[in-house]
Amino acid sequence: MIPSALLQEMTAWRRHLHRHPEFGFEETATAAFVAGKLRSFGLEVTEGVGGTGVVGTLRRGQSPRAIALRADMDALRIRETGSADWASQTPGVMHACGHDGHTAMLLGAASLLAAEGGFDGTVRFIFQPAEEWGRGALAMLEDGLMARFPFEEIYGLHNLPGLAVGSFCTRAGAVMSAEDNFEIVLRGIGGHAARPQWGRETLVPGCALVMDLQSIVSRRLSPTDIAVVSVTEFLTDGTRNALPGVTRILGDARSFSPDVSAKIEEEMRRITAGIATTWNLSAEVSYTREFMPLLNTPHLAEAVLACAAPVSATAQVMEEPMTASEDFARFLDYVPGCFSYIGNGEASAPLHNAGYDFNDAALGHGAAVHVATARARLRAA
């Protein structure tokens, strides 16, 4: 479906973007690159949506229907260890999640649909900033995305290391989890390591709290609920011979239901209060909800699988959801849609790894799925 000349262009675009990664809401050069390509294809283009977001609009035929195809543009604050010619030239920033590939795939789809059509209606090409820290989709929505560029359905693609190139998968319902962030601060009285009885140190109670938090999933939630509570940072104000008076415990929680998220927060606050009482400390708990659970619309997941089957080596239903998170879920609060995965190769490094690179062999497969989806959902007479 994707001409060889376009595949070569997409590869060049992807490698250019990989050389010049930009962090969330700083994607000014990336957005300008995307906007320039879209204009060269003949699309209507609006820049600066939600900060650095770009929306391209392509109309064909007479139908009033509209759908959206979305890609993310931001990179991560990771120092790349790869040695490819297109390795990052921005110190400490790299495309370690494949957003360079996602952007190139959607540009390729826009190019082909602009040149060949094959649909009746309007396709919105949404290039979103700041997915990695869960703010970009919300920023575009708060900037009037739905009113300014209305659409009825939305579709997104993400690469998946470990899945063979050319393979495609998705599922109805729960696909990716919510992410909640928490910070717990225990405050007591620090003191000399040789005289623990003279103060109210916070390190031992902090360690007890870390262990007790693990009981939320194992003992406070139903075994049928999927959830993860992870402590990722443990920080104190102590030193080698001084017991700390302040301990900070940070981490995140993953779940697929608002009720489970609420239960995790409730139990975390209860356990923390108990530890504070036991050790005569004060405690503060900050609990925020950063990502919503991503729930695919069932009939659209089935439709996208049908679209992907003719243009993929395999198109299959995912066996289970992932406990990673994606702010594509924000769009699904407004319209139905489907988020799917294409293979990045069985030997690919993991996402968010300093040695990761998007597999250029996957570009054509992703663009083909975008094109097939647009043509199927906006079927021409």
Q: Return the number of other C-beta atoms located less than 10 Å from residue 346's C-beta.
A: 11
User: What whole-number distance in Å separates Cα of residue 238 and Cα of residue 343?
Assistant: 47
99 marked as binding residue: yes
18 marked as binding residue: no
Helix axes 28-41, 4-19, angle to 10 degrees: 160
Q: Left (φ > 0), alpha (ψ -120 to 50) or beta: where does 239 sit?
A: beta
Looking only at the bridges linking them, the beta strands covering 191-192 and 337-343 are: unpaired
Q: Give phi and psi for 376, each to the nearest 5.
A: -75, -40
158 marked as binding residue: yes
Long-range contacts of 303-308 (CB under 8 A, 24+ apart): 303/338, 303/373, 303/376, 303/377, 304/155, 304/170, 304/338, 304/340, 304/369, 304/373, 305/168, 305/170, 306/376, 307/369, 307/372, 307/373, 307/376, 308/168, 308/170, 308/340, 308/369, 308/372, 308/373
370 marked as binding residue: no
Of 90, 91, 86, which is closest to residue 101 (Cα–Cα)?
Answer: 86
User: What whole-number distance in Å separates Cα of residue 113 and Cα of residue 42?
Assistant: 11
User: What whole-number distance in Å separates Cα of residue 333 and Cα of residue 11?
Assistant: 33
User: What whole-number distance in Å separates Cα of residue 33 and Cα of residue 280?
Assistant: 58
What value, to the nearest 5°, has the Cα angle with vertex 376 and ends 370 and 377?
A: 90
User: What whole-number distance in Å separates Cα of residue 341 and Cα of residue 328?
Assistant: 13
Q: Which residue has the tokens 């996602």?
A: 102
97 marked as binding residue: yes
User: What whole-number distance in Å separates Cα of residue 175 and Cα of residue 177?
Assistant: 7
User: What whole-number distance in Å separates Cα of residue 326 and Cα of residue 156?
Assistant: 10
Q: Give phi and psi for 63, each to the nearest 5.
A: -65, 140
| Residue positions forming the annotated binding site | 97, 99, 132, 158, 352
| Residue positions forming the annotated binding site for Mn(2+) | 97, 99, 132, 158, 352
